[in-house]
Chains A and B, each alone.
Chain A
Amino acid sequence: MNKLINRRGFLQGSLVASAAATVSLAKKSEAATFEGYPNAMGVLVDLSRCVGCRSCEAACNKEQNLPAPAKPFNDFSVFDEMQHGQKRRTDETRYTIVNRYDIPGREHPLFRKIQCNHCQEPACLTSCFVNAYTKTPEGAVIYDPDVCVGCRTCMVACPFYIPTFRYSSAFHPRIMKCVFCYDTRLTKGLPPACVESCPQEALTFGRRSDLLDMGKQRIRENPGAYVDHIYGEHEAGGTAWMYISPAPFEQAGFDVTVPKEPILNYVKDFLSIVPMVLTIWPALFAGFHLLATRKDKMEQQKKNENEGEV
C-alpha cells in the first residue's frame, strides 16, 4: 500500500517541482517493483462456460440503478447489433455487456463479458488531473463525480475503452463505469452482482493471486481446452478481471495489442524531462541573454564614460 503512494509521490514530485523530484529519486526503484495490493480481489472469466444468457447484464442494471434498456435482457437479437462495424460496447446506460463471437471451425459461439477490468495501475487513474479515480486495496477502481471536470482524458487513456461519458446531460454529466459494486458489495466482502447472478459459474470471484493459480490450473488440467494465456495477467500491467479462453483471444474480440505493461510507462519519458527543463532552461536562457546583449552593454558603458570625460 505504501509502495503505491511512494510511486505517485515520485511522479508528483517530478511534475510539481524539480526539487521535489530530486529528493524522491531514491524511491524510484521501489516504485518499479509495485505489484498491486496483496489482498486485492478479482474475477476470473472462463469463456468456455459462458452461454450468453445476459443475466449479468440484468443484475448490473438493477444493482447500479441504471435506466431500463430499449430491449429486454432476454432478447438475444442484441448480439447482432453493430455500430460503426463494431459490436456493442459499454455506454452511459450499461456498465457491462456480453457479446457473441462466431468463430469459424467451432461448433458453438463464444461469449465475452465486457466491463471495467480494474487494472492494477489504471491508466484512467494515472491520467486524471483531478484525482477523481482511486484504486482501493480491495481491488476496485472507483470514481468520484464531485471533482471530475469532464475532460475525458481517462476515456482516451483506457486501453479497454471502458469509461463512458454521460453526454446526454448538460448539468449533471459524469463518467459512467463499472465500480466492481464497490460501495454496495465489495466493501462487505460480497462478490459483485454480475458474478452472483451467473448461473454457469463462468465468473469466479476471489483473491486475484488465487484466481491466477486457478486459471493456470484449469489450463494445465484440461490440455487442449484452453489457449495457454490468461488475459489480464500482464495486460496493461495486470488487471483484477482476467479471462481464459478456448480460442485465440483475438477471435473473441480481445485487443491483443494492449501493452503488457502499465500505460503509465509510456508517459514516463516525458515526465522525466520536466524537472530538467525547469532547472536548466532559466540558467541557459539567462546566459544566452547576457551573451547576446554583452556588446550593447559594453557600448553603452563606453558611451557613458566618454560622456563623463566631456
Chain B
Amino acid sequence: MNAFISNKQEIPIASHVKPDGGAWSIKEKLWLGLSRDEYKAQFLRNPVNWALIVIFAVGVPIILQRYLFGLGSITHASNDYPWGLFLGFGLFGMVPLSASGFLLGTTVEIFGRKDFVPIERLALLNGLLGYFFAVVYLEVDLGMPWRLYYPMFVSLGPAAVLFLVAWHVATYLSVQVAEVSSAYFEWIGWLKGKRFIKSIAVGLTISGIILSTLHQGALGALFTYAPAKVHPLWFSANFQWIHFFCSAIFAGLSMVIVASALCKKYMAWRCDRRFLDSVDELTLGLGKGCAYAMITYLVIKLVGVAHDNDWAHLLTGWGQYFLLEIGVAVVLPMFMFAVGVKNRLVGMVRWAALISVLGIVWNRLNTSMICFNWQLYQEIPHWKEVWTTVTIFALYFIVYRFILYRLPILYQWQGEK
C-alpha cells in the first residue's frame, strides 16, 4: 500500500469526495481506490498473504471433511474430552480477548474519559470480531450447527449456564454490531443511522457491561459443572466466575494494546495523526488498567486457593505447573506493566500485553483441556483439529484487516459526520 500512497495522493480514502471533486462510489471504496491490477499487485507483494493461502489450501478441505463426514473425521472423537481446541481456544480463549469492546465503551461513554476516543473504535471492532468468530468456532464444534437457534426459539432450558451464555453472546453481538455500525454509516454516508446510534450509545454501553459481566463469568461457571474433573487449583465453585470475569478485563485491554501496536507498525498508512500521536500515551493508560486488574486477579486467585484449602496441591507437579502459569502469565506481565507505566516505557507495556494475551489463552486451555480430567490422561488434539483452529483464526485475521483497511476505525472520516 505504501508504494501506491506515495504515487496517488487521493488514497487512502478518508472522505466521500475525490480530489477532483467527484464522489467515491462504494465500489471504489471497497477497492481502496486502486485499480484491480494494482489491488492484485499489493495483495501478492505481501508475504503474510502467501502464508494465509497455504493455511487455507490445507484448511478448507479439512473443514469440508468435517461437515461431510462428521466431527470424528477431523478430531479424536473423544468421549472423555468432549470439548477440544474449537471451544478451548475459539470460545474460551477468544471471548475474554474480546472484552475490549465493553471495557473501552465503559471508559469513554460511562466514565467520560474522552481522551480514549482515538482507540475506542478499534476496541469495539476487536470485541465484535472476537465474539463473531467465537460463534464461528462454535459452529464448527456443535454436533448440529444448523440448530444454533434452538436454545432461543425451539426448546428452552433456562436453568442451564450455557443458556445464559447463548442468549448473552447473541444479544451482545447485536449490541456490538450497533456500536460498530456508526463507523460503517460514516463510510457509506448515512448520517441518520449514525446519529441514532449516538443517541442510544449510553444504553448500549450499559447493556454491554451487564451482558459481558454475566457471560464472561458464565464461561467460567460452565466448569463448575465438572467439580471432580477440573484440577482443584483451576477450579473454584465460589470464585470461578469472578476469576474468568476479572481475567477478561486485562485480557481485553491487552488485546487492544497488541492490536493497536500492530496497526501502528504495519498499517500506519491507514492511521491518521490523531491515532498515531495518541496511541503511545493511550497504551500507557491501558497498561495501567491491566496492572490493576492483574493484581486484583492475583489476589482472588489466592483467595480461591485458600477458600478451598488447596495448599497441599501446590506441592505436587500440578501445583508447580499452576505456579508456572501464575508466574509467567500474570506476575511477570503485571510487573512489566507497572514498571513500563511508571517509567513511560511503551515498548515494555506492549510486550507485557502480548505475554498476557498468550497467558490468558494458556489459562483457558489449562482449564478446559490440560487440567481437565487431570486424573485420567492428557488428550493431544488431532493435527486436523489444530489446523482447523488455525484456519478459522486466519479468517478472523483477514476480516479484521479487511475492515481496518476501509472503515474509519484508525482514522477520522473527513467531512460531514
Query: How far in angstroms is the closest Cβ of chain A from B21?
Result: 36
Q: With A155-B79, A170-B69 in contact, is A270–B221 under 8 Å at CB?
A: yes
Contacting pair B237 A269 (CB below 8 A): yes
A129 touches B162 (CB 8 A): yes
Q: Is the CB of A11 within 8 A of B159?
A: yes
Binds A, one of B223-231, B258-266, B270-278, B399-407: B223-231
- CB < 8 Å: which of A84, A132, A277 contacts B377? A84
B56-81, CB < 8 A from A: 66-73, 75, 77, 79-80
Check B370 for interface membership: any CB of A closer than 8 A. no
**Contact between B157 and A271 (Cβ–Cβ < 8 Å)?**
no
Least Cβ–Cβ distance between A34 and chain B, in angstroms: 14
Q: Which residues of B contact A278 (CB under 8 A)?
A: 210, 214
State whether the Cβ of B54 lies closer than 8 Å to any Cβ in chain A.
Answer: no
Total A-B pairs, Cβ < 8 A? 196
| Residues on B with beta carbons closer than 8 Å to the beta carbon of A84 | 80, 376-377
Binding-face segment, A58-66, A109-117, A142-150: A142-150
Residue B222 is within 8 A (CB to CB) of chain A in the complex? yes
- Flag whether A183 is at the interface (Cβ < 8 A): no
- Inter-chain contact A281/B209, CB cutoff 8 Å: yes
Cβ of A165 < 8 Å from any Cβ of B?
yes
Given contacts A156-B226, A270-B241, contact A128 B160 (CB under 8 A): yes
Which of these, A123, A128, A148, A173, contacts B71 with CB under 8 Å? A173
Question: Does the CB pair B217–A273 fall under 8 Å?
Answer: yes
Closest A residue by C-beta to B378: A84
* Per-residue B-contact encoding for A106-139, CB less than 8 Å = 1, 0 else: 0000000000000000010011111110000000
Tell me the bound Cα distance from A132 to B209 in angstroms. Answer: 31
A89-B79 in contact given A150-B142, A259-B227, A273-B217 (Cβ < 8 Å): yes
Say whether A153 faces chain B, with CB atoms less than 8 Å apart. Answer: yes
The size bracket of the interface on A is: 35 or more
Binds B, one of A45-53, A210-218, A224-232, A288-296: A288-296
Distance A84 CA – B376 CA, assembled complex (angstroms): 8
Q: How far is the CA of A11 from the CA of B221 in the complex (A)?
A: 15
Q: Does A29 contact B (CB under 8 A)?
A: no
A258 proximal to B (CB < 8 A): yes
- Give the Cβ gap from B61 to chain A, nearest Cβ, in Å: 15
Residues of A within 8 Å of B3, CB to CB, are: none
Name the distance in Å between A235's Cβ and chain B's nearest Cβ.
10
Verify A293–B144 contact, CB threshold 8 A.
no
Residues of B within 8 A of A22 (CB): none
Verify B210–A277 contact, CB threshold 8 A.
yes
A174 to B274, CA, bound (A): 54
- With A167-B75, A292-B111 given, is the CB distance from A174 to B143 under 8 Å? yes
Give Cα A86 to B78, complex, Å.
13
Interface of B is mostly: helix
Query: In the complex, what residue of chain B is closest to A150 when comparing beta carbons?
Result: B143
A281 to B210, CA, bound (A): 6
Q: Which B residues are in CB contact (< 8 Å) with A153?
A: 82, 160, 162, 222, 225
How long is the Cα–Cα vector from A273 to B224 in the complex, in angstroms? 14
In the bound complex, do residue B110 and residue A288 qualify as a contact, i.e. CB atoms below 8 Å apart?
A: yes
**Bound state CA distance, A167 and B160, in angstroms?**
24
Report whether B209 and A285 are in contact in the complex, using a CB–CB cutoff of 8 Å.
yes
Answer yes or no: B156 CB below 8 A from chain A CBs.
yes
Fill in one digit per residue for B112-153: 1 if any A CB lies within 8 Å of its CB, else 0: 100000000000000000000000000001111101101100
Tell me whether A86 and B159 are in contact in the complex, defined as CB-CB below 8 angstroms, given that A155-B79, A170-B67 are known contacts. no
Contact assessment for A129 and B157 in the assembled complex, using a CB-CB cutoff below 8 Å: yes
Contacts of B70-111 to chain A: CB distance below 8 A: 70-73, 75, 77, 79-80, 82-83, 106, 109-111
> Which one of A91, A149, A270, A292 contacts B150 once the chains associate, using CB atoms below 8 Å?
A149
The size bracket of the interface on B is: 35 or more
The docked-state distance in angstroms from the alpha carbon of A271 to that of B221 is 9
Chain A residues whose C-beta falls within 8 Å of the C-beta of B240 in the assembled complex:
270
Within 8 A of A (CB), among B23-77: 66-73, 75, 77
The chain A residue with its CB closest to the CB of B377 is A84
Contact partner of A273 (CB less than 8 A), chosen from B66, B154, B160, B241, is B241
Contact in complex: B71, A149 (CB < 8 Å) = no
Q: Which of A159-175 contact B (CB under 8 A)?
A: 159, 161, 163-170, 173-174
- Smallest beta-carbon distance B234→chain A, Å: 14
Residue among A130, A174, A258, A296 with most chain B CB within 10 A: A130
Cα(A271)–Cα(B110), bound, Å: 27
Residues A129 and B79 in contact, CB atoms below 8 Å apart: no
- Chain B 187-202 near chain A by CB (<8 Å), digits 1 or 0: 0000000000000001
Q: Nearest-CB distance from A193 to chain B (Å)?
A: 22
- Verify if B390 is at the interface (C-beta below 8 Å from A): no
Interface residue ranges of B225-261 to A (CB < 8 Å): 225-229, 237-238, 240-241
Which residue, A8, A85, A127, has most C-beta atoms of chain B within 10 A? Answer: A127
Q: Does B166 count as interface, using CB distance less than 8 angstroms?
A: yes
Q: Which residues of B contact A266 (CB under 8 A)?
A: 224-225, 227, 237
B364 to chain A, nearest CB (A): 14
A289 and B164 form a contact (CB under 8 A): no
Least Cβ–Cβ distance between B92 and chain A, in angstroms: 12
B161 part of interface (Cβ distance < 8 Å):
yes
Instruction: Tell me if A255 counts as interface (CB < 8 A to partner B).
Output: yes
Is the C-beta of A103 less than 8 angstroms from some C-beta in chain B? no
The distance in angstroms between the C-alpha atoms of A257 and B77, with both chains bound, is 26
User: Chain A contacts of B6 at CB under 8 A?
Assistant: none
Q: Does B206 contact A (CB under 8 A)?
A: yes
Q: In the complex, what distance in Å separates the CA atom of A184 from the CA atom of B138?
A: 35
Task: With CB as the reference atom, state the residue of chain B lying closest to A261.
Answer: B227
A174 to B147, CA, bound (A): 12
B158 proximal to A (CB < 8 A): yes
Are A155 and B68 in contact (CB-based, < 8 A)? no
A259 to B214, CA, bound (A): 26
* CB within 8 Å for A149 and B82 given contacts A130-B157, A277-B213: no
Q: How far is the CA of A128 from the CA of B150 in the complex (A)?
A: 12
A25 located at the interface, meaning its Cβ lies under 8 Å from any Cβ of chain B in the complex: no
Are B79 and A165 touching (Cβ within 8 A)?
Answer: yes
A185 shortest CB reach to chain B, Å: 25
Question: Lowest 8 A-B CB distances belong to which pairs?
Answer: A150-B143, A167-B72, A167-B77, A270-B221, A152-B82, A11-B159, A147-B155, A155-B82
9 A-B pairs within 8 Å (CB atoms) are namely A11-B158, A127-B161, A128-B162, A150-B143, A165-B71, A167-B71, A167-B72, A269-B238, A285-B206
6 further interface pairs, Cβ-Cβ under 8 Å (given A127-B225, A131-B157, A263-B225): A159-B227, A170-B67, A255-B228, A258-B228, A267-B224, A270-B241
